[in-house]
Amino acid sequence: MPKGPRFQTPQGMHDVLPEDQPYIERISGVVKDVADFYGYARIDTPMLEDAALFEKGIGVTTDIVEKQMYFLRTKGGDVLAMRPEFTAGIARAYIQHGMINLPQPVKLYSTGPLFRHESPQAGRFRQFHQFDFEIFGEQSPANDAQIIQMFYAILRELKFSHLIIEVNSIGDSQCRPYYKKLLVNYLRPRQYSLCVDCRRRMKENPLRILDCKEEKCQRVRSQAPQIIDSLCDECKNHFKQLLEFLDEADLPYHLNPHLVRGLDYYTKTVFEIFVETEGDQGEGKTLALAGGGRFDTLVKLLGGKDVPATGAAAGMERIVSLLKEKQLFTPPTPQYRIFLAQLGDAAKKKSAKLLEEMRKAKLNVAESVGRDSLRAQLARADKLGAEFTLILGQREVLDNTIVIREMAKGTQETVKLEKVVEEVRKRLKK
């Protein structure tokens, strides 16, 4: 069997190759435009944080913290974790930098890599990228609606159709404990019909049983009491208002009583955005692109003041692969109207300075400074579709001139080297 290269990317991690960069740039461009319009400032937090930040913030019994975090012990003995999500780090930064003293709300966004030790499969990686938006300091359902609207707008701007927004409320510390009891009372006599993981979740995190993907658990949950019926007045009101905002904004949403999201810090609103796609056998499938919700207790839990917040994140890789699969974006091919060719050592040396001059003049010039033959260079200029080739030969170097060749006609003109930028500009305008 032929052996592959000795070193490969670690399992579940991938290189973002040059051909994928235009897709990332396109997504990042749309994200930045939407962030700028809605007044979100960019923040970048470290990829490594104190592991306890995630344990405390996300919760020790969640899948992310329990099974998926990458840990690292520093030489000084600190235990750090590779960030598995953005929110806890951004909330830490909000507290650390006293952002509570700024006019509220504080609206922040970020993009970058995250790390989760999950079993790799299609659309699921161990290092992946997200963009993330958070609002701190306001409790209005209008903020939740704005976040949902922004994610929807970004995906629509990227030309996605067949998007489905699913929303739910998981209550707060007033009503959720009561609901948990109701749920456990319902599940207890049925626990042997649940998967092994869910039987364990009964004690630690019974809400997660509601979004288990196992068929037998889904059968049990279909008759389970719904949290919506147990919400306290405040949560009920918040949810009702959120739905009114979504209606008013014409956002296509479904209520999903089983949507709970995996993390402990959520309160009230939770949502996910899915897209309809085709499975391997051509069957209809939905794929999660974005998810988030309100997290009113997180800042306090991490040692800050009582600051309500809401936010969400979306996965870049899934968006990139769908942009390709659905042919929603064609990477632009670079356009070069000018090519610089050179002949001989002296010309080669001079062309380095000339290229820099062209760059400063914002002229887009292609070159092939490693090649010697003029024929090869002209062929390259043709291939790139250049309209003009500048030829710097031995004679021109001595005379301080340069030849401008019009590629379509094959005509050539010699001009003074110091006038080349001006002369090229004149011809490009014609």
Which residues are known binding-site members for L-histidine?
A: 85-87, 116, 130, 134, 261, 265-266
In angstroms, what is the minimal distance from the CB of 288 to ligand AMP? 4
**Region of 161-169, 200-208, 232-240, 309-317 interacting with ligand AMP (CB under 6 A):** 309-317
Task: Rank residues 240 and 285 by Cβ distance to ligand AMP and give the closer one.
Answer: 285
In angstroms, what is the minimal distance from the CB of 151 to ligand AMP? 10
- Inter-axis angle of helices 51-58 and 87-96, to 10 degrees? 110
Q: Is 264 in the site for ligand AMP (CB under 6 A)?
A: no
**Distance from C-alpha of 353 to C-alpha of 103, rounded to nearest angstrom:** 50
Instruction: Tell which one of 23, 109, 128, 131 touches ligand AMP (CB under 6 A).
Output: 128
Residue 164's identity, in one-letter code, is I
Instruction: Tell which one of 26, 56, 268, 318 touches ligand AMP (CB under 6 A).
Output: 318
Q: Take residue 4 and report the two structure tokens written for it.
A: 């592959």
Instruction: Tell which one of 118, 157, 214, 387 touches ligand AMP (CB under 6 A).
Output: 118
In angstroms, what is the minimal distance from the CB of 419 to ligand AMP? 54
Q: Is 130 in the site for ligand AMP (CB under 6 A)?
A: yes
Q: Are strands 338-342 and 388-392 parallel, antiparallel or unpaired?
A: parallel
Q: Is 125 in the site for ligand AMP (CB under 6 A)?
A: yes
Distances (CA, A) of 170 to 54, 55, 179: 21, 21, 9
Q: Is 131 in the site for ligand AMP (CB under 6 A)?
A: no
Q: Is 163 in the site for ligand AMP (CB under 6 A)?
A: no
Q: Is 144 in the site for ligand AMP (CB under 6 A)?
A: no
Task: Rank residues 85 and 172 by Cβ distance to ligand AMP and give the closer one.
Answer: 85
Instruction: Tell which one of 85, 138, 144, 172 touches ligand AMP (CB under 6 A).
Output: 85
Task: Rank residues 62 and 351 by Cβ distance to ligand AMP and give the closer one.
Answer: 62
φ, ψ for residue 63, nearest 5 deg = -60, -40
Q: What is the dihedral of CA 45, 51, 53, 55, to 10 degrees?
A: 140
**Region of 72-80, 120-128, 356-364, 367-375 interacting with ligand AMP (CB under 6 A):** 120-128
Residues in 273-292 at the binding interface with ligand AMP, rule: CB under 6 A:
288-291
**Distance from C-alpha of 55 to C-alpha of 71, rounded to nearest angstrom:** 12
Q: Which residues are annotated as a binding site?
A: 85-87, 116, 130, 134, 261, 265-266
Which residue shows structure tokens 């109207």? 337
Residue 274's DSSP bridge partners are: 164, 288
Instruction: Tell which one of 30, 81, 313, 338 touches ligand AMP (CB under 6 A).
Output: 313
User: Helix, strand or coil for residue 7?
Assistant: coil
In angstroms, what is the minimal distance from the CB of 396 to ligand AMP? 55
405 near 412, Cβ under 8 Å?
A: yes
Nearest by Cα to 297 from 89, 158, 139 = 139
Q: What is the dihedral of CA 78, 81, 85, 88, to 10 degrees?
A: -20
- How deeply is 167 buried, as exposed, middle or buried, from its count of CB atoms within 10 A (0-12, 13-18, 19+)? buried
Sign of CA dihedral 123, 128, 133, 138: positive
Residues at the interface with ligand AMP (CB under 6 A): 85, 116, 118, 123-125, 128, 130, 288-291, 313-315, 317-318
